[in-house]
Chains A and B, each alone.
Chain A
């Protein structure tokens, strides 16, 4: 063991209680930092997983047309929005052509056309406004997690009947619907009779409250839309590819294309603000421990002024003295980070088993956590930087002591 380390350890022992306070602060700071990050990041990741499973990674929607070409569709009922020199024509008229063109994008692993509309659901003598989604079952399961969202009934029953319906959990509850019940949907055309094949729950309130899934051919008659699609939902190799890919598809296909990051910007911002603010809040615990550490080290320097002088007189250099005090900080932070990370892992594990019912933006029955080594690294870096800065000034002060002056002062 180096003499500096030996002396550092003994000096630490001289202020055991104050050092234990700083150590405890660092342990708690590191642990809380990691736990809050694991939790906020966990909820964020779970939210992303949920919305990707519900609304997909990328959606190709309205056709974009420059105003120059507007004359072609002028007067048509489709032309509604004019934005600058660009006009949007709702929906994807030539879904097949678009889907074929997507073969030129190897990042796209699946594409599914969807028709979206409005219809009134009538059952048990009550009416309820819904947003029917006409899906192509074969491809839609590749661009969503619909299959895992089923909480009652079965996907198979839906697949077997052309007039089957999957209703959102909150619709089912409000309308008192059971699997097997018969309902009427009233869209743009004639009201049609459907049978409830399954109930789904995404946890996203708005979706569970208004969405019903039916087969594409059925919605065409229901809404009187013989051709086209409202949008095409895509699945990619990696959700992170979406922001770069969406503009390329939009450029190439002439359809407004939006990545999930863009679509869910508001919520993603809420999550990141939450995460940053909790990181800052918790960091104050570490900062305060750093202040305590600073205080304690200054006290030790004052306390040990004569000892420092005698060490200098017997041959310890300024750097040695500085090292003795930096090492005290180093020992405390190393111990604090180690214990803090262990406590964090334990706390995160425990938290993930605490029951809590969450519905609204996703569905979970317990705390959601994300195990991310970077949370531990970040906490360790913050604690280390804080403590090393807190140790630097006392150590510099100790190193600057003039042994002659100190000894002269205490002899006379």
Chain B
């Protein structure tokens, strides 16, 4: 069974004059332990697709299967629970909570899931920060870290609950070349090592090609 399968997704965005058909029937499957890139021109519908898959948005038509569960028509709370357990997000901006330290930021998804003790959460968060190369900066607030470091904290946070799928929307879009390279390597290594799937939107053709598979999008469809 595949990790995730989408079938004939359609999505219209906007109202009235600005209304546009952003996704016009997208279907594909995602297997565990593999990395996928979504490439395409600006406005081709990459983010729209990613938010649908991440259950942050609801399709107008089509279905999204997470494992054997059709999730696109679940209630808001049910979709939220699926996100908590099965998905990790990395966005262009890190969105760290600035009143929390790096360690505490990574612990936030675990606290919500509530399966680990405080101690275990701490240890696991420290491990994850170690894995992204920030083992010595766990007590820093977001504001006391560089842009690349903040993005790495966001990656550790996305991994907190061992999600099957990591969704990343231009995770390196805000970083310089060296940092972008490092962040991408980290994401794809972790996905391969841990058997997690990575679905990444990227403008960077070089990074896209380093993924196991590339979906090319144009005008709301995936090119064959």
> Which chain A residues have a beta carbon within 8 Å of chain B's beta carbons?
3, 6-7, 10-11, 13-14, 306-307, 309-320, 402-404, 407-408, 410-412
- Once the chains bind, are B91 and A411 in contact (CB under 8 Å)? yes
B111 and chain A: residue at smallest CB distance: A3
- Once the chains bind, are A317 and B51 in contact (CB under 8 Å)? no
CB-defined A-B contacts under 8 Å, sample of 17: A3-B108, A3-B112, A6-B111, A11-B99, A306-B93, A307-B95, A310-B95, A312-B80, A313-B56, A313-B89, A314-B83, A314-B160, A316-B84, A318-B77, A402-B56, A407-B169, A411-B169
- Once the chains bind, are B93 and A410 in contact (CB under 8 Å)? yes
B170 contacts partner chain A, Cβ-Cβ < 8 Å: yes
Bound-state CA distance A309–B96 (Å) is 11
B184 contacts partner chain A, Cβ-Cβ < 8 Å: no
Bound-state CA distance A6–B170 (Å) is 30
- Once the chains bind, are B91 and A407 in contact (CB under 8 Å)? yes
The A interface, classified by DSSP as helix, strand, loop or mixed, is helix
B65 contacts partner chain A, Cβ-Cβ < 8 Å: no
Give the chain B neighbours of A11 by CB distance below 8 A.
99
Give the chain A neighbours of B111 by CB distance below 8 A.
3, 6
Kindly list 17 other residue pairs between chains A and B, CB separation below 8 angstroms, not including A314-B89, A315-B83: A7-B97, A10-B97, A10-B99, A307-B97, A312-B56, A314-B83, A314-B160, A315-B80, A315-B81, A315-B161, A317-B77, A402-B56, A404-B54, A404-B56, A407-B51, A407-B169, A411-B169
Give the A-B contact count at a CB cut-off of 8 A: 80
Give the chain A neighbours of B77 by CB distance below 8 A.
317-319
- Once the chains bind, are B112 and A306 in contact (CB under 8 Å)? no
Give the chain A neighbours of B7 by CB distance below 8 A.
none
B108 and chain A: residue at smallest CB distance: A314
- Once the chains bind, are B95 and A320 in contact (CB under 8 Å)? no
Across the A-B interface, the 4 shortest Cβ-Cβ residue pairs: A315-B84, A404-B56, A10-B99, A310-B95
B95 and chain A: residue at smallest CB distance: A310
Bound-state CA distance A403–B51 (Å) is 10
Among A3, A318, A403, A412, contact of B56 (Cβ-Cβ < 8 Å): A403
B157 contacts partner chain A, Cβ-Cβ < 8 Å: yes
B44 contacts partner chain A, Cβ-Cβ < 8 Å: no
As a 0/1 sequence over residues 97 to 131 of chain B, the CB contacts with chain A under 8 angstroms (1 = contact) are 10110000000110111000000000000000000
Expressed in whole angstroms, the minimum distance between the Cβ of B95 and any Cβ of chain A is: 4
- Once the chains bind, are A313 and B93 in contact (CB under 8 Å)? no
A313 and chain B: residue at smallest CB distance: B89
As a 0/1 sequence over residues 34 to 65 of chain B, the CB contacts with chain A under 8 angstroms (1 = contact) are 00000000000001000100101100000000
Expressed in whole angstroms, the minimum distance between the Cβ of B39 and any Cβ of chain A is: 17
- Once the chains bind, are A314 and B81 in contact (CB under 8 Å)? no
B92 contacts partner chain A, Cβ-Cβ < 8 Å: yes
Given contacts A404-B57, A411-B92, A317 and B76 within 8 Å (CB-CB):
yes
B85 contacts partner chain A, Cβ-Cβ < 8 Å: yes
Give the chain A neighbours of B173 by CB distance below 8 A.
411
Expressed in whole angstroms, the minimum distance between the Cβ of B141 and any Cβ of chain A is: 11
Bound-state CA distance A13–B113 (Å) is 25
Give the chain A neighbours of B76 by CB distance below 8 A.
317-318
- Once the chains bind, are B84 and A411 in contact (CB under 8 Å)? no
> Which chain B residues have a beta carbon within 8 Å of chain A's beta carbons?
47, 51, 54, 56-57, 76-77, 80-81, 83-85, 88-89, 91-93, 95, 97, 99-100, 108-109, 111-113, 157, 160-161, 169-170, 173
Give the chain B neighbours of A404 by CB distance below 8 A.
51, 54, 56-57
Expressed in whole angstroms, the minimum distance between the Cβ of A220 and any Cβ of chain B is: 87
A403 and chain B: residue at smallest CB distance: B56
Give the chain B neighbours of A311 by CB distance below 8 A.
97, 108
Expressed in whole angstroms, the minimum distance between the Cβ of A147 and any Cβ of chain B is: 68
Expressed in whole angstroms, the minimum distance between the Cβ of B183 and any Cβ of chain A is: 16
A320 and chain B: residue at smallest CB distance: B112
Expressed in whole angstroms, the minimum distance between the Cβ of A412 and any Cβ of chain B is: 8
- Once the chains bind, are A313 and B83 in contact (CB under 8 Å)? yes
Given contacts A407-B56, A411-B169, A316 and B97 within 8 Å (CB-CB):
no
Give the chain B neighbours of A410 by CB distance below 8 A.
93
Bound-state CA distance A410–B141 (Å) is 21
- Once the chains bind, are B80 and A316 in contact (CB under 8 Å)? yes
Give the chain A neighbours of B157 by CB distance below 8 A.
314
- Once the chains bind, are A315 and B93 in contact (CB under 8 Å)? no
Bound-state CA distance A410–B169 (Å) is 12
Given contacts A407-B51, A407-B56, A314 and B84 within 8 Å (CB-CB):
yes
B51 and chain A: residue at smallest CB distance: A404
Expressed in whole angstroms, the minimum distance between the Cβ of A271 and any Cβ of chain B is: 50
- Once the chains bind, are A411 and B47 in contact (CB under 8 Å)? yes
Bound-state CA distance A314–B113 (Å) is 10
